[in-house]
């Protein structure tokens, strides 16, 4: 049970002063007298502005901006302006101070950053608007001009996650989901590895607490063995380093709990099967021109002492990751038979790996960072600006486009002249064509990839050499959206289609005007809208295209405006009207409840509300669940760690509904188990005997596949709750040769 905070004004004031002095002490040698005066002014204003405010925990609100300022300076490595903005980041949003006040007191730059950090609260919200997506768009609009906006926002989010335990459950789920969906990829893209890992782990504590605790317990239980293994592994390497006069600091890091869980899911393996739970790191200090040589010297020592896995070598020295990460990785077999990942890098590389974008600028000032990294960051910001250019994109579409641009995995491809290009993994020939030039994209019909003819939809692979093939008769089509990945390509296709539609519309309007003139009909919106309605076109684009292609005759128009009855239209309208009025919404819902067994009453405090179990994650009683309200007020129930639920909650946090299972509920829910092992006589009989004879469960389907003596099966059955499912899995584990039993996650529809 969480402790209750008891306010004490005298102790709180002493604590505020202490926190401020600690902050100033850290910055003292990095600031001038004028800068320290500016920090003091910001601190004083923030304390006064928030003096009557408290956090949900009961603590004075000012603790929060001071903590954010500490993260900004000590964990992200930013300077005075960022510190001032961190102290003031909630002043405009939560107090009577305005942006004009900030501009007058602290200048334009501080006011602009604070504006980017201030949430949009006064939007008129309709059913199609996501307030969260609108706020994210505002953040990126500000970030495209000054990247410090998002860095301070990340610090703000990190402190909120560190203190999330005091929030109510629905708020915890909203904030944790938002963090996973949006802030974690941002931190990753900007190279803030430490912050990214911490955000991920905190979010997992709330969306998937049981698995988080399971992995945490496993890590604690195996910690002593890991430390012994590391010491034995490193000792001979350190002796060789000393002998060669190479000064390198050794450290080890354990993979974050969230990363371990993601790997378990991705590889479909158990905790014990993950060999890179920890990594050993050697970091040395040197001049930039000596970095490569020393990295390879340490690599040579490791490979001379231990057998290595060539498939697990990673050279990020020549081609850093898009976020600037540079390191040399080699995986070696220890004397105990365990694989150990070794990371080799300079102090400069290590700081950029941990603090990313901000650390890069520290070294940029000293001209110690490769220009390629600066170019990569600027290219990414340019892509963000391209997405922002489109005023046709709504906030949710914008957020999805931004998510694509946060993707770190890339493919390296080459033009016919040997120029290297980088695109997000999954990009196609058409993406490359638009990346090279808009005209190449608009006229692309395919390409020669490694001298072989491929279609424009071909997905590019690392090392492909690509020559774009064009035709002057080619022009963009709507179905191109199905196989382009980059926002640049999508935006260029949209522009081309809009231009075509405009041209078609002008041609159609000219034709219709001529028809109306011949028939003596006024060319006004009411009249041409009547023609559109009579023809049954809901889309104006389709209507004008129809007219432009000479498919509409004067006789047809004449008939529409005559007194003759349009029997087809009337019959259609009558049919639609009958369907709308014959049954009430409640009747339709009741009928659906009768025919759809996955609809059920969830909470005994809400007798009149109907819920539906989501097919994407198949929650069953005992699972931690959350309700999500749809536009039609129907509530869909997801497991709290379901990726689809996390995405929806990150966009529409206001629609989260508390959900719990009715204890006395006695229904059967569809669930699934995946089985893997080595085949033996009687295996299927043993499985069915446990399910039907011992536990009296109802099987819906059992699919078995055996190849080269390896047994794989998928079992779908109806079960009452998660406890019954766990009991079944425990009994199945006792069958000889059945090596792995796991609950099916989110892939069964």
Task: Point out the residues that are catalytic.
Answer: 93-94
Q: Is 467 exposed, middle or buried (0-12, 13-18, 19+ CB in 10 A)?
A: middle
Distance (Å, rounded) from C-alpha 610 to C-alpha 83? 49
- Going by C-alpha positions, the residue among 182, 161, 19 that lies closest to residue 87 is 19
Distance (Å, rounded) from C-alpha 257 to C-alpha 203? 11
Distance (Å, rounded) from C-alpha 416 to C-alpha 656? 52
Strands of 339-346's sheet, edge to edge? 248-254, 278-284, 339-346, 328-333, 314-315
**Strand pairing partners for 279?**
253, 341
In the block, residue with structure tokens 């909120």: 160
- Going by C-alpha positions, the residue among 117, 140, 113, 138 that lies closest to residue 384 is 140
**Strand pairing partners for 710?**
678, 707
Residues in the chain, total: 749
- Going by C-alpha positions, the residue among 132, 167, 154 that lies closest to residue 2 is 167
Q: Is 716 exposed, middle or buried (0-12, 13-18, 19+ CB in 10 A)?
A: middle
Q: Cβ(333)–Cβ(305) under 8 Å?
A: no
**Distant-in-sequence, close-in-space partners of 157: CB < 8 Å, separation ≥ 6:** 179, 183, 199
Type and span of the H or E element at 740: strand 738-743
DSSP string of 320-350, one letter each residue: --TT----EEEEEE-TTS-EEEEEEEEHHHH
Distance (Å, rounded) from C-alpha 383 to C-alpha 487? 7
Q: What is the dihedral of CA 366, 368, 373, 375, to 10 degrees?
A: 50
- Going by C-alpha positions, the residue among 647, 642, 609, 650 that lies closest to residue 623 is 642
**Distant-in-sequence, close-in-space partners of 16: CB < 8 Å, separation ≥ 6:** 47, 60, 62, 63, 66
Distance (Å, rounded) from C-alpha 254 to C-alpha 421? 34
DSSP string of 637-673, one letter each residue: EEETT-HHHHHHHHH-GGGEE-----TT----EEEEE
Q: Is 194 exposed, middle or buried (0-12, 13-18, 19+ CB in 10 A)?
A: middle
- Going by C-alpha positions, the residue among 653, 655, 654 that lies closest to residue 175 is 653
Q: Cβ(404)–Cβ(484) under 8 Å?
A: no
Give the chain's largest Cα–Cα span: 103
- Going by C-alpha positions, the residue among 673, 744, 748 that lies closest to residue 704 is 673
Q: Cβ(130)–Cβ(649) under 8 Å?
A: no
HSE at residue 618, side-chain half, CA atoms within 13 A, is 21
């Amino acid at each position: 049970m969480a402790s209750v905070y008891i306010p004490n004004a005298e102790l709180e004031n002493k604590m505020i002063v202490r926190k401020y002095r600690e902050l100033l002490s850290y910055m003292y040698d990095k600031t001038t007298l004028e800068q320290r005066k500016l920090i003091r002014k910001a601190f004083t204003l923030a304390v006064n502005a928030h003096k009557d405010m408290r956090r949900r925990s009961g603590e004075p609100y000012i603790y929060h901006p001071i903590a954010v300022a500490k993260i900004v300076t000590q964990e992200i490595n930013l300077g005075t302006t960022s510190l001032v903005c961190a102290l003031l980041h909630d002043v405009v949003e939560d107090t009577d101070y305005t942006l004009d006040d900030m501009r007058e007191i602290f200048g334009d730059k501080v006011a602009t950053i604070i504006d980017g950090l201030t949430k949009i609260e006064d939007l008129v919200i309709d059913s199609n608007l996501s307030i969260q997506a609108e706020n994210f768009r505002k953040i990126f609009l500000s970030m495209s001009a000054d990247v410090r906006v998002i860095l301070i926002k990340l610090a703000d989010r990190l402190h909120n996650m560190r203190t999330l335990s005091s929030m109510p459950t629905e708020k915890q789920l909203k904030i944790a989901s938002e963090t996973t969906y949006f802030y974690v990829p941002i931190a990753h893209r900007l190279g803030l590895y430490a912050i990214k890992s911490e955000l991920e782990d905190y979010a997992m504590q709330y969306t998937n607490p049981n698995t988080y605790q399971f992995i945490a317990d496993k890590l604690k239980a195996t910690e002593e063995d890991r430390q012994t293994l590391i010491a034995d592994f490193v000792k001979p390497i350190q002796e060789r380093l000393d002998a060669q006069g190479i000064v390198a600091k050794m450290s080890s890091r354990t993979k974050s709990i969230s990363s371990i869980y993601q790997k378990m899911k991705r590889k479909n393996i158990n905790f014990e099967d993950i060999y890179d739970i920890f990594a050993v790191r050697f970091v040395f200090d040197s001049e930039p021109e000596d970095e490569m040589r020393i990295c390879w010297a340490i690599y040579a020592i490791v490979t001379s002492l231990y057998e290595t896995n060539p498939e697990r070598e990673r050279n990020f020295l020549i081609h850093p990751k898009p976020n600037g990460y540079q390191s040399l990785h080699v995986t070696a077999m220890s004397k105990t038979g365990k694989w150990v990942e070794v990371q080799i890098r300079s102090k400069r590389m290590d700081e950029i790996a941990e603090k990313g974008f901000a650390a890069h600028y520290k070294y940029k000032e000293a001209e110690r960072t490769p220009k390629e990294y600066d170019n990569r960051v600027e290219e990414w910001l340019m892509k963000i600006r391209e997405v922002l250019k489109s005023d046709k994109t709504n906030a949710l579409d914008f957020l999805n486009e931004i998510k694509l641009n946060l993707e770190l995995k890339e493919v390296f491809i080459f033009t016919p002249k040997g120029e290297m290009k980088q695109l997000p993994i999954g990009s196609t020939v058409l993406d490359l064509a638009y990346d090279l030039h808009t005209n190449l994209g608009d006229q692309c019909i395919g390409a020669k990839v490694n001298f072989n003819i491929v279609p424009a939809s071909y997905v590019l692979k690392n090392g492909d050499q690509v020559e774009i093939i064009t035709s002057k008769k080619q022009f963009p089509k709507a179905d191109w959206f199905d196989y382009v990945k980059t926002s640049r390509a999508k935006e260029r296709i949209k522009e081309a289609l809009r231009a075509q539609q405009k041209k078609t519309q002008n041609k159609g309007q000219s034709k219709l005007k001529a028809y109306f003139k011949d028939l003596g009909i006024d060319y006004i919106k009411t009249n041409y809208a009547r023609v559109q309605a009579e023809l049954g076109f809901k889309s104006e684009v389709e209507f004008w295209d129809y007219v432009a292609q000479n498919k509409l005759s004067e006789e047809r128009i004449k008939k529409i405006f005559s007194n003759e009855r349009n029997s087809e239209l009337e019959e259609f309208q009558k049919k639609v009207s009958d369907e709308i009025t014959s049954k009430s919404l409640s009747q339709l819902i009741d009928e659906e409840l009768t025919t759809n067994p996955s609809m059920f009453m969830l909470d005994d405090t809400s007798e009149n509300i109907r819920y539906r179990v989501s097919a994407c994650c198949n929650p069953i009683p005992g699972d931690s669940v959350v309700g999500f309200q749809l536009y039609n007020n129907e509530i869909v129930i997801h497991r709290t760690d379901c990726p689809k639920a996390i995405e929806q909650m990150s966009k529409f946090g206001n629609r989260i509904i508390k959900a719990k299972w009715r204890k006395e509920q006695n229904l059967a829910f569809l669930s699934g188990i995946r089985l893997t092992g080595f085949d033996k006589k009687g295996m299927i009989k043993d499985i069915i005997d446990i399910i039907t004879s011992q536990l009296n469960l109802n099987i819906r389907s059992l699919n078995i596949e055996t190849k080269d003596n390896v047994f794989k099966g998928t079992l779908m059955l109806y079960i009452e709750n998660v406890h019954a499912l766990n009991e079944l899995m425990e009994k199945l584990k006792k069958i000889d040769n059945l090596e792995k039993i796991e609950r099916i996650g989110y892939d069964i529809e």
